[in-house]
Amino acid sequence: MKIDSLTQRAEAIVARVNQDNPYHAFLSIPKLRDVGERARQIEGNMRSKTSGSLSGLIVAVKDNISIRGVPTTCGSAILKNYISPYDATVIKKIVAQDGLIIGKTNMDEFAMGSSTEYSAFGTVRNPIDETRVPGGSSGGSAAAVAGGLADVALGSDTGGSIRQPAAFCGVVGLKPTYGRVSRYGLVAFASSLDQIGVFSKSIENAAKLLSVIAGVDPNDSTSSDIPVSDYSAGLGKDIYGLRVGIPKEYFAEGLNDEIRLRIERCIEFFRKSGAEIIPVSLPHTPYSIATYYIIATAEASSNLARYDGMRYGLSKRGGDLESVYKETRAEGFGDEVTRRIMLGTYVLSAGYYDAYYDKAQRVRRLIKEDFVKVFQQTDILFTPTTPTTAFPIGGKIDDPLAMYLSDVYTVPASLAGVPAMSIPLGNASDNLPIGGQIIGNYFDEETILQVGHYIERNFSLI
């Protein structure tokens, strides 16, 4: 990138978003003057050769990640006027490495959704086809990168909220190992599942951003102190001798024929490149969706109890304490969030905890053990990212179960806590993107980035 192009690019994007907000991808954006001033500072660092590793990159941030002095709405009316008093750890790291943050992106309310139609501030449109959803819940970040409004973006992935929209929008989307990236400053949905990850148009920039945001954080006790690899170092290597596992459960009924054929083409590409193809089984995969929606809603019910009209966010006062709770939440929470809170409260209630929540946790352990076993004989797993391409806006909004099944191939990796990445594999006959998912062993983001880069450089997308 030319040093003198950063300010021009950034100011052009800000002006464009302020004018018509393409794809409705952004919820807030800094003042043009502030963006220009920061861009010129970074350009000065680049000229003096003192700039950080992200200099020249424009970064978008999902609106459930805190930036000091900027609204953090989580796509919800209950936080419409909330201004964050602090920076998330990932934000501090990006700024320290001269990444230029351009704004906060639209999302499904509290990250609960698979289409970004559940935002209180309007639906995000897919840049490839604006009649289609961009996926969710990180649809705004995916659309910003796909639509050329950012070079890279941060999202959060609880059950597929980075990988699924990456597949729908034709970009790279990486969910790291649980604990690889600090969650300090990420507004919680389901704490044992949430993970900050990255979007990019290239594997190179995804590796660069992950290298910056990864690492242990004293503010997050769930972050890991396992040393962070140089994720860019392995890019450019071949895949000769790589053991690629193909789990049969990901190729069952319901998989779109064109996606199946493209995935099979890529598997044959692996074989011709010298990789070893190993059929494997993850036998508890069919239970993943049910397990996920019990655990995730239970944790959401607990985490969202803090929005009571007393501490921050919307407050509807005028009656007794109970009416404050009821009226604040009735006005502040949307239908999908309400649905998940009710389900989560139900599975945690007396008489149902053992039948649902406790059993789901036991199944989760079995799902994790499935992955541990297959990684004893494989280096990566390769699967479709989604069963279909991007569906029409409004196509599943009245059918929650059909919406939930959009994550059928992404949820297992989230339950197990392993890293996974969606990469573009070209387009279907209707020009909608197809994504392939690379799943790696714990804390082995380096290998999935290496494989993704090899596919990016050598696999024919036509």
Reading the block at residue 331, the tokens are 């006005």
If one counts the domains in the chain, the total is 1
**pLDDT at 209 (0 to 100):** 98
Question: 181 in helix, strand or coil?
Answer: strand
385 and 424 Cβ atoms separated by less than 8 Å: no
Catalytic residue from among 62, 93, 175, 201: 62
**pLDDT at 1 (0 to 100):** 43
- 438 beta partners: 382, 421
Q: Give yes or no: 161 in active site.
A: yes
Catalytic residue from among 51, 161, 200, 232: 161
In angstroms, the CA 242 to CA 192 distance is: 31
Does the residue 351 lie in any domain? no
Using CA of residue 384, residue 387, residue 389, residue 390, what is the dihedral sign?
negative
**pLDDT at 321 (0 to 100):** 86
Cα separations in angstroms, 374 against 154, 224, 287, 414: 30, 23, 18, 16
In angstroms, the CA 396 to CA 71 distance is: 30
Amino acid (one-letter) located at 282: L
Does the residue 387 lie in any domain? no
Instruction: Name which of 137, 59, 138 is nearest 102 in CA terms.
Output: 59
Reading the block at residue 172, the tokens are 């790279």
Query: How many CB atoms lie under 10 A from the CB of residue 427?
Result: 17
Q: Give yes or no: 137 in active site.
A: yes
Catalytic residue from among 51, 115, 119, 137: 137
Question: What's the domain range around 24?
Answer: 5-213
Does the residue 133 lie in any domain? yes
Element (H, E) at 163: helix 163-169
Instruction: Name which of 345, 425, 375 is nearest 168 in CA terms.
Output: 425
Residues of the chain with pLDDT under 50: 1
449 and 421 Cβ atoms separated by less than 8 Å: yes
Q: What is the pTM of this model?
A: 0.96
Domain CATH for 112: 3.90.1300.10
Which residues contact residue 263 at a Cβ distance below 8 angstroms, ignoring those fewer than 6 apart?
251, 382, 383, 384, 425, 436
Q: Give yes or no: 396 in active site.
A: no
Does the residue 165 lie in any domain? yes
Does the residue 175 lie in any domain? yes
Question: 360 in helix, strand or coil?
Answer: helix
194 and 160 Cβ atoms separated by less than 8 Å: no
Element (H, E) at 411: helix 411-416
Does the residue 399 lie in any domain? no
CA angle 308, 61, 409 (to 5 degrees): 85
Query: How many CB atoms lie under 10 A from the CB of residue 359?
Result: 16
Does the residue 136 lie in any domain? yes
Give the CA dihedral 308, 160, 259, 243, nearest 10 degrees: -170
**pLDDT at 4 (0 to 100):** 55
Phi, psi for residue 433 in degrees, rounded to 5: -65, 150
Reading the block at residue 237, the tokens are 């290597």
